[in-house]
Amino acid sequence: MKKPEKIIYQRDDADLRRQSLKAKGLVQQFNTIPAHDLSAQETLLRKLLGQVGPGIHIEHNFHCDLGHNITVGKNFYAGYNCVIVDIAKVTIGDDCMLGPNVGIYTAGHALEPVDRNKSGYALPIAIGNNVWIGGNAVILPGVAIGDNAVVAAGSVVTKDVASNTVVAGNPAKFLKRVEED
């Protein structure tokens, strides 16, 4: 698999700040839409996110940085308090589910303390089709998760996850294969 391209960004970049403020406004609007108004929620998500398949549902208290770097396929569900740090691209396939409090983070920072708060890096994240990510799981920069994979609740995914596998733990490790029908 080809290593994803690292994006270097400056926190004080005017264009990045403009994009972030636009997304924050749309996120704020989304989180105030009444729970029963699914049509208004979907309409706003289509404005916010880069690409949205049919059947999207994201629970309240959703947050993202830019929005336009997020692509989701059909029948996507995200539980409460989902956070997607999308400085780099986040691609999520069809029929995926995220439990509550899932964090998907494309951004990171230098280990060295000098100027750590002024710049950072981002690596894209790719999540395949039919993936289930359990509550409180964290997906870190540059990770790819294969089709039909399951990430157990509370896991911290630091490396790619193969298709048709279950991973668990911190850091997430192979637990078993997913049995297909």
Q: Report helix, strand or coil for 28.
A: helix
Tell which residue, 55, 69, 67, 79, has the closest CA to residue 27: 67
Residues facing 7 on adjacent strands: 122
H runs (alpha helix) in 38-77: 38-48
Q: Are 73 and 95 spatial neighbours (Cβ–Cβ below 8 Å)?
A: yes
Neighbours of 180 (CB within 10 A): 6
Residues facing 125 on adjacent strands: 90
Tell which residue, 43, 82, 37, 90, has the closest CA to residue 62: 82
Residue 63 designated active-site: no
Chain position carrying tokens 């951004």: 107
Q: Give the Cα separation of 73 and 43 in Å (integer).
A: 15
Residue in 60, 63, 68, 109 annotated catalytic? 109
By annotation, the residues acting in catalysis are 109
